[in-house]
């Protein structure tokens, strides 16, 4: 089925036979399209290691730059993938659709074998624009450095990226009482991992200073999960809700 509005830029087939699916995938590869296949498949990888996924419902994406990604219905990361620069190949074997991604340096092979194909699509297009990031942690840092009272009255920033044995602190400063303050910045809602990271910085800085040093830890983010909130309280750490500036 070809979308008449876009001509040969798009092609979608529902439940094609393996030979029909093979031909559609081959056409998409030949014209430099993004090709996707969804259906019941196994995934076999051989290269720097060896892995095999038993049959499951998965989504395969082939990009014109040679990248290949296999996704399941969970998570954002592919369960297997090949980087740009690989060669795509498609065929049929034993009544099944077989799609391969081949890399020569190092020698790697990803083979996705579909026993059932539910959909094949090919999309041709271009995107000349680069990603423009806004609302980054650096934006959040600059916002606090320019207006320290956003953190609290009397806060004085003294350094950014201050080294500690646990890593670099986003902002190091002092509060109105002269106590050391470690500020950890996050641009999105955060969970327990961010609290653990802040706690490591506080512990490291207390050891770096002197035995009776009082070091406060403040997590700055738009919001935290309930679990993170409980951990902050449990470890004597603090939270300030603040978002990066919008453009």
In a domain, 193, yes or no: yes
Q: Distance (Å, rounded) from C-alpha 17 to C-alpha 231?
A: 54
Between CA 190 and CA 200, with CA 194 as vertex, the angle to 5 degrees is 170
Share of the chain above pLDDT 70, in %: 94
* 96 in any annotated domain: yes
Task: Examine the domain organization and report whether 116 and 168 are in the same domain.
Answer: no
What pLDDT, on a 0 to 100 scale, did the predictor assign at position 243?
Answer: 86
CA distances from 18 to 52, 99, 101, 116, 204 (A): 22, 11, 18, 8, 60
Q: What is the pLDDT of residues 172-213, one digit of tens each?
A: 999 999 999 999 999 889 999 999 999 999 999 988 887 677
Residues 113 and 155 in one domain: no
List the domain range (segments joined by +) for residue 195. 137-241
64 in a domain, yes or no? yes
Residues in the chain: 247
**113 and 165 fall within a common domain:** no
pLDDT digits (tens, 9 = 90+) for 2-41: 443 444 689 999 999 999 999 999 999 999 999 999 999 9
Nearest to 97, CA basis, from 64, 46, 60, 124: 60
Q: Which of 123, 146, 162 is the last residue of a domain?
A: 123
Gap between the Cα atoms of 111 and 10, Å rounded: 25
Evaluate whether residue 144 is within a structural domain: yes
Helix (H) or strand (E) holding 234: helix 226-234
Q: Are 40 and 114 in contact (CB under 8 A)?
A: yes
Assign residue 90 a region: left if phi > 0, alpha if psi is -120 to 50, beta otherwise? beta
Q: Please say which residue of 88, 123, 158 terminates a domain.
A: 123
pTM for this entry: 0.57
The count of domains in the chain is 2
Same structural domain, 109 and 181: no
Does residue 37 lie within any of the structural domains? yes
Token pair 């990271």 in the structure block, residue: 197
Check which CATH number belongs to the domain holding 45 and give it. Answer: 2.70.180.20
My answer on whether 94 and 56 are in the same domain is yes
Q: What is the pLDDT of residues 140-167, one digit of tens each?
A: 999 999 999 999 999 999 999 998 888 8
What DSSP letter does each residue of 92-144 carry, written as one string?
Answer: EETTEEEEEEEETTTTEEEEEEEEEEEEEEEE-----PPP---S-HHHHHHHH
The answer for residues whose C-beta is within 8 angstroms of residue 128's C-beta and 6 or more apart is: none
């Amino acid at each position: 089925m070809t979308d008449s509005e876009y001509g040969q830029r798009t092609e979608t087939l529902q439940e094609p036979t393996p030979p029909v699916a093979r031909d559609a995938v081959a056409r998409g590869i030949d014209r430099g399209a993004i090709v996707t296949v969804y259906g019941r498949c196994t995934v076999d990888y051989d290269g720097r290691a060896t892995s095999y996924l038993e049959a499951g419902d998965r989504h395969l994406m082939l990009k014109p730059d040679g990248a290949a990604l296999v996704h399941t219905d969970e998570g954002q990361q592919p369960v297997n993938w090949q980087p740009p620069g690989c060669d795509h190949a498609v065929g049929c074997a034993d009544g099944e659709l077989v799609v391969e991604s081949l890399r020569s340096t190092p020698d790697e092979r990803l083979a996705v074998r579909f026993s059932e194909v539910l959909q094949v699509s090919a999309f041709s297009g271009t995107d000349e624009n680069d990603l423009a990031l806004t609302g980054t942690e650096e934006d959040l840092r600059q916002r606090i450095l320019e207006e320290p009272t956003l953190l609290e009255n009397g806060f004085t920033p003294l350094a950014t990226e201050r080294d500690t044995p646990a890593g670099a602190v986003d902002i190091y400063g002092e509060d109105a009482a002269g106590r050391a303050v470690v500020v950890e910045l996050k641009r999105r809602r955060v969970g327990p991992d961010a609290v653990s990271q802040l706690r490591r910085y506080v512990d490291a800085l207390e050891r770096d200073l002197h035995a009776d040093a009082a070091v406060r830890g403040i997590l700055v983010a738009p919001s935290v999960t309930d679990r993170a909130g409980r951990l902050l309280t449990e470890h004597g750490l603090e939270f300030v809700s603040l978002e990066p500036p919008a453009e």
